Amino acid sequence: MIKMTKKKDLSRSLEDYAYQCVTRRLLRRVEGFLDGKPGFVILIAQPGVNPADYYPAIAADLFGDDYPERSNCGVMVIKTGEKQPAILGKFDADCRLRHRIVVIASDRECIPSEIRFSADTIIDVPPVSPRDLKAACKTVLEIDITAAQAKEALKAPWHLLLRTLRPGRPIDDVLSRLKNIPVVSETHAPKSRAANSMKLEEMHGYGPAKEWGLQLADDLGDWRDGRISWDDVDKGLLLSGPPGIGKSVFARALALQCGVKLIVTSLGQWQAKGHLGDLLSAMRTDFARAKNMAPCIMLIDEMDSFGDRSTFTDRNKDYSTQVVNALLECLDSLDGREGVVVVAATNNPNDIDPAVLRAGRIDRHIALELPDGDTRLAIIKQISGIAISDDEAPRIKQMTIGSSGADLAKMCREARRLARRDKRPVDENDLIIGLPKLMRVEGEFRRHVAIHEAGHTLVGWRLDAGEFLGTTVFDWINPAVGNQRVGMAIFRLPGTGARMRQHHLDRIACLLGGIAAEELVLGEFSDGAGGDDASDLGIATTLATALEAQLGLGERLRYSAVSDADDWERLRRVDVKLAARVDKVLREQFERAKEILSDERRLHSAIVEVLCNDGKLGPEGLAELEVSQMDHDPIKAA
């Protein structure tokens, strides 16, 4: 027979009472456990909380006014670092033969497998909620506070909050004191001194993402002050980009800019908790923790690891579907996760379930790009403090083409290491020593590049394929970087307006103008126009395929749903007639570009000379060249 004891409410300690509210709610999930039914529960303490802090609360509910040795209950604490034989010995002595057992552990890893596998359930302890704090203040301190005041108070570190709340002290006074406590970011990610100390407004290279983040900081401030509702605040952002581009650094800088806390997590961290039930519990606990800290930023790294439900195979399909569904529930939540902004990071945005990106969840997507030359110099100066001279700046820009923020940080570390070895301040020479050697673009190679870029320039200018912004031939290239641009002709496309078939054909002709010029002047063209999806030939092929298979501007009125280059290629391979029509469009526009250049040989040659000598040509310079060539051509002048 099980002896029933009266549950005891703790009233001497605010901390104990608050923890009793939390743990009692958890133990009620186990059917009949608090009423005397046998069971074995393991509780995993909040990160940073001593598991022994929960002991008085749990003991009060299990033992009541009875003594532990006379009851049929066992409560045990396991801390990180304890030896497993000692843990097992203590468990056998205090708990193993008891009807009701509660083990409180620092984390799952410190629990011996013999204990972990014999438990009925393992539950992650959530943080103290505003409702828990409100009840504890009322009972222990005899202070009445509102739910909103409790929520505001819980933004402060727990240990400081406990010391600030005192009997008879008005809650407004408590909140006023807590506002002076500096914000501390919470993150599982490795900490970088520079990244952790800078706000977003101080960062370089984030473009539209930085603009979004600064606006979010303003909106969160207005929301906290009651000037706007939560419905007017962006609730989610998907950041995509290559590895090392700084997605996690962005989230830390954003949290500092907004003056809020940061929670960093991922599916991998949740999976490390154990089986499916543990994973889902860890996920929900993190979202609950974020809501208790609101306003806060929650970074979910490697978002594509959740997968797309439409691509799941029979193997593990049920498991993966439940994980995605649980994520959607957490992103929705009944209160709209008020105060929690979710930033998701990924290298592969196409692998994310579309439902995750639905309006109201993570509905804004910004693709981060590798930093341009000026931004790379600014990042180097920010990380290392090295002032780069005007003489060396162009070379360092070229030497760092294709480098991410992480690559630049590594270069700066290497430069500082060289300076430390010689016991002197770091300078730009230390940086240059560690960079790859450049190859100068000169001689016949430079002329070849100028012919190619002049072809793009002249064809695009004649067809009005966009607003001409300028053409450049680089002085240096980095041999270590594959598929590197040696020059470029830039045309800005119109943002709006009706685009007929001819508009797209003009773009294709402009893209093929480079190799058309090479064949016209040199008798053949090189492989520089191909190589990847972003090359001249790659973009032209995609445009021609879209005309015929998606935009309804080809021989057939047909729409094909495609999302990436692989889909386009698969479509051409499956439909042989489509591939033939695409080839026909490309060949016709190639010949058209050659015809334009043939009629404009004199102007093309003049553009080539300017690019060879000066390395660049702007809109005004091209217009002047055109006028000067017309003066030398009596027919065109007339």
479 upstream amide cis, omega within 30 of 0: no
Q: Cα torsion for 111, 115, 121, 125, to the nearest 10°?
A: -30
Return the H-helix or E-strand segment holding 447.
Answer: helix 443-463
Distance, in Å, from the CA atom of 361 to the CA atom of 344, rounded to the nearest integer, reads 11
Q: What is the DSSP annotation of 577-597?
A: HHHHHHHHHHHHHHHHHHHHH
Closest CA to 372 of 390, 353, 396: 396
**Beta strand spans in 278-322 (E):** 296-301
**Token representation of residue 584:** 């026909």
How far, in Å, are 44, 123, 192, 194 from residue 430 at the CA level? Answer: 49, 53, 22, 20
Q: Are 331 and 288 in contact (CB under 8 A)?
A: no
Distance, in Å, from the CA atom of 328 to the CA atom of 322, rounded to the nearest integer, reads 10
Which one of 428, 453, 600, 626 is the catalytic residue? 453
* Strand order, beta sheet including 467-473: 487-492, 467-473, 616-617
298 in the Ramachandran plot: left (φ > 0), alpha (ψ -120 to 50) or beta? beta
531 in the Ramachandran plot: left (φ > 0), alpha (ψ -120 to 50) or beta? left
Q: From the CA atom positions of the chain, what is the Rg in Å?
A: 33
How far, in Å, are 78, 80, 248 from residue 190 at the CA level? Answer: 26, 20, 10
Distance, in Å, from the CA atom of 74 to the CA atom of 2, rounded to the nearest integer, reads 14
Q: What are the φ/ψ torsions at residue 431 (nearest 5 degrees)? A: -70, -45
Closest CA to 125 of 192, 216, 48, 235: 48
Distance, in Å, from the CA atom of 264 to the CA atom of 344, rounded to the nearest integer, reads 10
414 flagged as catalytic: no
Residues recognised as catalytic: 453
